[in-house]
Amino acid sequence: MIGNKVRFGILALAAVLFASCAAGTLVDSPTGSISFAFPKSVLSRGVDEEYQVAIYYGLDQYDAAPSISDNEMTFSGIPTGDVRIIVAKGIKEDGFFYTDKYGQLFITIVAGDNGPYDLDLENSEFKWEDVLKGEDVNGLAELDDVLYVSTADTLKKVTYIAGALTADAGPEVPPEMAVNSVSVGKVYEDGVVKPQVWVNGTWTAAAAGGGIMPWVGSGLDPDFASGFGNPLNREGEIAADFEVTYSGAFEVPGEKGLALIFQRDGGMGGVYLTESDFSAPRDEWDDWPWIVDEINFAELLSDVVEEGTEFIRDIKVSPEFSAAYIVTSILTMKISEDFISGDIVFDSADAILNSNAVAFAPYLGSSVVCMELSGSGDGETIYVGTENGLYSGLASSESGEFFEGSPTLVSGTGGYFISLISVSPPDGDFVAFTARRGTNPDLLIIVDTESDAIVDFRGLQGLPGTRLSNLVWLDGNILAVSGDHGLTVMDASQLF
């Protein structure tokens, strides 16, 4: 990386220090001051649009404002203790700071005067996709070394070649459709099961569509969606809009068929499709047989679910063990292929809790938020993100068993409130996860699973937003990160 020696005091002239530190725990502590010297001529420069500074005590950010006198800047009343100071150079647009270079300093604030300090600024590890800067990216999927990207109303293909990102326009999003995400599913093509990118969204009743449209070539396939949205295949009261937030598919062992599973508001649903279903005339696709009639877990478990709770937190589909893993606000479960037989009807809480097709994750000391699956066959690993750390354990192939043995806390991850997880292929050399703490911007943490080394990144180091939405590995080293202000990639192999 290219170093750029900069006087800390010059940078601090434009400091923006973000609030959220727990003042109650620090207010009675001894305090010190940090002062910086800089050339007087700097005052005439518009550096407030080029530099930002953040001070952290652990995971908390601290709010302070400097005083400026002649050629000296001073931060007074700073609590004593170990701090991490990040100085970033970049461009501020639309209320967000796009980092180009940054430097960081780990020091201990002592009572009295501290400083002055120098700091090296180096290029950020994160490379931006320029077209997507400022866009709220809600979906990200990888297939054949191409990133498929979605916002609420646009679709794009992004490639990463020779260290550079290039975006090309994807299919136009119909006006009656709102895109929620993209994912990789499976379909039959000439008798062979192949992966396919799916666009998950919300269609109005007037559009007569469903919640999944395959992204095929340069267009979307609306015929496929009709099998999901036809009210004739759905019992009970039908909502005006049909919403899918995530989807996936797995092959059914012993039978030549695919289970297509999707997550919706409050629950899940799915269909079971054979090769003949795919080869049937397209005007018959709306007769697809449902596996589950849109299980609404929030309704079935209403006695123990608080009103207004975001019940379904995450859903993952395992192609290895033919199962769907579901994270809810009160329990985490695995639903195995047995429910495809139709012999099991999930019409009550008892039916869920006592079914041989359902297995539950053990209590891990705090609520589960998200999950990820890694590896294949007997070596498939489940990563579970909780409100207080990351756990991993070997997946069980047994229908009524969640883990094979006991899961363990991944070293160094205790205390993180985890919101997303992604594991590098093919063998899980790196695990990336995002964490959040109150109103602070999201953090990105990367774990080297061989050495248990951990590197974390804060917003001013080049993350694409205050809220991160997706983590996808392009290969074993290159991680794509999307957020509410765009898309970036970074090379994890250069971190350790």
pLDDT of 17-51, one tens digit each?
A: 333 333 334 445 689 888 766 555 443 334 445 77
Quote the domain boundaries for residue 26: 3-123
pLDDT at 28: 58
Percent of all residues in the chain with a pLDDT value above 70, rounded to a whole number: 76
Report the chain's mean pLDDT, rounded to a whole number: 80
| Length reported for the chain | 496
Residue 87, in any domain of the structure: yes
Residue 10 belongs to a domain with what CATH number? Answer: 2.60.40
Residue 42, in any domain of the structure: yes
Question: How many Cα atoms within 13 Å fall on the side-chain side of residue 339?
Answer: 30
Is the per-residue pLDDT at 343 higher than 80?
no
Give the closest residue to 60 by CA, choosing from 101, 17, 30: 17
Residue 33, in any domain of the structure: yes
Is the per-residue pLDDT at 6 higher than 50?
no
Q: Pick 71 or 53 by higher pLDDT.
A: 53
Torsions phi, psi of 407, nearest 5? -75, 160
| Range in 127-141, 156-170, 262-276, 336-350 the model is least confident about | 336-350
Q: Pick 204 or 455 by higher pLDDT.
A: 455
**Helix runs in 94-221, H state only:** none
Q: Are 464 and 128 in contact (CB under 8 A)?
A: yes
- Own/partner contacts of 437-440, CB < 8 Å, gap of 24 or more, are 437/20, 437/59, 437/60, 438/20, 439/20, 440/18, 440/20, 440/59, 440/60, 440/61
Residue 10, in any domain of the structure: yes
Residue 177 pLDDT level (bands cut at 50, 70, 90): confident
Residue 366, in any domain of the structure: no
The bridge status of strand 112-114 relative to strand 31-37 is: parallel
Give the closest residue to 212 by CA, choosing from 287, 142, 169, 262: 262
| Average pLDDT rounded to a whole number, residues 478-492 | 96
State pLDDT tens for residues 403-446.
999 999 999 999 999 999 999 998 889 999 999 877 788 999 99
pLDDT at 1: 37
pLDDT at 11: 34
Residue 138, in any domain of the structure: no
pLDDT at 381: 92
Which of the given ranges, 203-207, 383-387, 398-402, has the highest pLDDT on average? 383-387
| Average pLDDT rounded to a whole number, residues 249-271 | 76
Report the predicted TM-score, pTM, of the whole model to 2 decimal places.
Answer: 0.85
Q: Are 198 and 183 in contact (CB under 8 A)?
A: yes
Q: Convert 232-292 into a string of H (helix), E (strand) and C (coil).
A: HHCCCCCCCEEECCEEEEEECCCCCEEEEEEEECCEEEEEEEEHHHHHCCHHHHHHCCEEE
State pLDDT tens for residues 233-255.
454 444 456 678 889 888 876 66
**Helix runs in 46-178, H state only:** none
Give the closest residue to 258 by CA, choosing from 274, 270, 245, 242: 274
**Distance between CA atoms of residues 47 and 58, nearest Å:** 28
Give the closest residue to 438 by CA, choosing from 417, 421, 420: 417
**Distance between CA atoms of residues 433 and 344, nearest Å:** 35
Question: How many Cα atoms within 13 Å fall on the side-chain side of residue 192?
Answer: 4
What three-state secondary structure class fits 464? Answer: coil
Is the per-residue pLDDT at 174 higher than 80?
yes
**Distance between CA atoms of residues 236 and 68, nearest Å:** 67
| Average pLDDT rounded to a whole number, residues 166-181 | 90
**Distance between CA atoms of residues 231 and 290, nearest Å:** 12
pLDDT at 470: 96
Residue type, 119: L
- DSSP for 20-55 reads ---HHHHTTS-EEEEEEE--GGGGGS-GGGTEEEEE
**Distance between CA atoms of residues 247 and 261, nearest Å:** 6
Residue 2 pLDDT level (bands cut at 50, 70, 90): very low
State pLDDT tens for residues 119-158.
778 999 999 999 999 999 999 999 999 999 999 999 999 9
| Average pLDDT rounded to a whole number, residues 98-114 | 90
**Distance between CA atoms of residues 66 and 344, nearest Å:** 65
| Average pLDDT rounded to a whole number, residues 266-282 | 78
Residue 50, in any domain of the structure: yes
Q: Pick 356 or 344 by higher pLDDT.
A: 356
| Range in 14-18, 58-62, 80-84, 336-340 the model is least confident about | 14-18
Cis peptide bond N-terminal to 231, omega within 30? no
**Distance between CA atoms of residues 257 and 193, nearest Å:** 9
Percent of all residues in the chain with a pLDDT value above 90, rounded to a whole number: 38
Q: Are 357 and 363 in contact (CB under 8 A)?
A: no
Residue 314, in any domain of the structure: no
pLDDT at 408: 95
pLDDT at 47: 46
How many separate domains does the chain show? 1
Question: How many Cα atoms within 13 Å fall on the side-chain side of residue 1?
Answer: 18
Task: Name the CA dihedral angle for 64, 67, 68, 71, rounded to a multiple of 10 degrees.
Answer: -80
Q: Pick 313 or 341 by higher pLDDT.
A: 313
Residue 370 pLDDT level (bands cut at 50, 70, 90): very high
**Distance between CA atoms of residues 256 and 34, nearest Å:** 69
Which of the given ranges, 58-67, 89-98, 401-410, has the highest pLDDT on average? 401-410
